[in-house]
Amino acid sequence: MSFYPLRSVDSDSRFFRPGDTLVLVGELFDRGYANGLVQAALRRGMRVIEGTVGRRDENHGLRPLREEELKEKKYEWVNIPLEAGFEWEVASDGLHLMDRLKELKLAEWESFSVPKDLINESRIKGEQRLFRNLQNFCAEIEKRVPSGNILFAHLMAGGVPKNKVVLSLLNRVVRGTGEKFLSSKKLWDSPLGWVINENFKAVTAWSFQLLLEASSELREKMMQQGRIVAYSAYGYHGTEIFISGQLRWQSYAPYLQGWAKLLLEDLARKARQQGILATVFNCPEILTHSSSIFQGVEVPLYPLWNILWQYGNHPFVRHLEGNCQMKLKSGVTLSEVVKMCEQTYAEPDLAILFDFARWPQHNEKQQLEKLISVSDHIMQMHENPKNLLTFDLSEVVLEACGEVMLKYFQQYQEPVVWIGHDLVGSEIVRLKNQ
């Protein structure tokens, strides 16, 4: 596996400009990464079309959004449910995964048996449903977008079956300390772990492949017309952060989506071999609806200050620093927060987080406890734990990443790239100079 960190992207954009369209394949949530892409597209005068994942009704049927739900949408939308995954798909024995999980007991999860052939039937049905919906989605895009280039931005990640015992086990894997600690390897090596991972792969990775296939006709037509169609997907595979005087790759563990993200990377590599402009952008850790369950994932975000301070005289950086400093308790400084992260990362128990070849790492008790403890400690250094530095820093990261992604396609051909804190810093400062 080769590590391809992006160091710079050209500022000129021939591909994406007024007349071109950004299509979000997934739904836009407040604070989510896709907001950065939307901002970058609007800055260029592009059109933005949002997808929806649909909603489950009382009988767990997948339905489009209702009128009142669509009122909240800020941009143009296509209301075809793009939910991925198979937990509600009934197999030939009349049961879906959620039915099977009803029998699951917390004390007996290790001996829970999973009928792989029936799960496979549900998985195939889930894929067929998503494929049909994606085809209809693409047909609607074709109608609505008769000219200009298109960037399909795949946002999807998730797939946790919402079952009480599953949620409780996952909570122990990502937050469990002391007796509550549960080894992610133990869970992942079990039949239950296998099925959760299959659903993660369906949502996070196979949905991307289905998008490439469902849009193939549209892509062919557009290419014949000399129009460009590109595909971006958000990956996570660790981030380079600047700590203790150097840029170092590190990661969060246990990142349970990691195996699905590796598959996503492979799918992008295969697509590039077929001449499709598809790239997975491995982005830094930020705080969003999806990542907030992983306590400690935000710790590498604080050292972004080490990069931002390199542009310390820039008015944007000075303003941001003032805002962030105000969020801390009196007497606490930003440098102390960053130093605390650096000291934690220097501990031997956290060394596994720096081993690129071993990614995705499973959790280890001491490692998880240290990460959660520093995360708690930094939260307590805030004036109000509901108003965190990570909100401001996440905004900076997602805005910079959105810019990088739109500029990338005309200059690079790589299927998998990494955006580290160095590029986030230079990009945000360049943007704020405009």
Ligand X SMILES: NC(=O)c1ccc[n+]([C@@H]2O[C@H](COP(=O)([O-])OP(=O)(O)OC[C@H]3O[C@@H](n4cnc5c(N)ncnc54)[C@H](O)[C@@H]3O)[C@@H](O)[C@H]2O)c1
Tokens of 262: 């590796």
Rounded CA separation 128/113 (Å): 26
Q: How far is the CB of 213 from ligand X (least distance, A)?
A: 16
Rounded CA separation 316/339 (Å): 23
* 80: three-class secondary structure by DSSP: strand
Q: How far is the CB of 9 from ligand X (least distance, A)?
A: 18
Residue 225, number of CB atoms within 10 A of its CB: 9
Q: How far is the CB of 333 from ligand X (least distance, A)?
A: 25
- Measured from the CB atom, the residue of 222 and 279 that comes closer to ligand X is 279
Secondary structure of 354-400 in HEC code, one letter for each residue: HCHHHCCCCCCHHHHHHHHHHHHHHHHCECCCCCCHHHHHHHHHHHH
Q: Diameter of the chain by CA atoms?
A: 66
Q: How far is the CB of 232 from ligand X (least distance, A)?
A: 10
- Measured from the CB atom, the residue of 198 and 222 that comes closer to ligand X is 198
- Measured from the CB atom, the residue of 165 and 283 that comes closer to ligand X is 283
Rounded CA separation 166/57 (Å): 22
DSSP code string of 272-302: HHTT-EEEEEE------TTGGGSTTTTGGGT
* 315: three-class secondary structure by DSSP: helix
Rounded CA separation 23/47 (Å): 8
Q: How far is the CB of 18 from ligand X (least distance, A)?
A: 25
- Measured from the CB atom, the residue of 162 and 318 that comes closer to ligand X is 162
Environment class of residue 84 by beta-carbon count within 10 Å: exposed (0-12), middle (13-18) or buried (19+)? Answer: buried
The phi and psi torsions of 328 (rounded to 5 degrees) equal -90, 155
Rounded CA separation 129/135 (Å): 10
221: CB partners within 8 A, 6+ apart: 142
Q: How far is the CB of 237 from ligand X (least distance, A)?
A: 9
Q: How far is the CB of 234 from ligand X (least distance, A)?
A: 3
- Measured from the CB atom, the residue of 199 and 426 that comes closer to ligand X is 199
- Measured from the CB atom, the residue of 61 and 312 that comes closer to ligand X is 61
43: CB partners within 8 A, 6+ apart: none
Q: How far is the CB of 35 from ligand X (least distance, A)?
A: 8
Structure-derived torsion over alpha carbons of residues 219, 221, 227, 229, reported in degrees to the nearest 10: -10
**Residue whose CB is nearest to ligand X in the complex, by number:** 32
Q: How far is the CB of 91 from ligand X (least distance, A)?
A: 18
- Measured from the CB atom, the residue of 184 and 207 that comes closer to ligand X is 207
- Measured from the CB atom, the residue of 84 and 381 that comes closer to ligand X is 84
Rg (CA), the chain: 22
- Measured from the CB atom, the residue of 26 and 415 that comes closer to ligand X is 26
Q: Which of 79, 91, 84, 93 is nearest to 127 (CA)?
A: 84
Q: How far is the CB of 287 from ligand X (least distance, A)?
A: 7
DSSP code string of 109-128: GGG----HHHHHHHHHHHHH
Q: Which residues bind ligand X (CB under 6 A)?
A: 26-27, 29, 32-33, 53, 82-85, 155-159, 203, 234, 236, 283, 285-286, 288-291
The phi and psi torsions of 325 (rounded to 5 degrees) equal -60, -35
* 344: three-class secondary structure by DSSP: helix
- Measured from the CB atom, the residue of 51 and 425 that comes closer to ligand X is 51
- Measured from the CB atom, the residue of 26 and 420 that comes closer to ligand X is 26
Q: How far is the CB of 12 from ligand X (least distance, A)?
A: 26
Q: How far is the CB of 83 from ligand X (least distance, A)?
A: 4
- Measured from the CB atom, the residue of 174 and 222 that comes closer to ligand X is 174
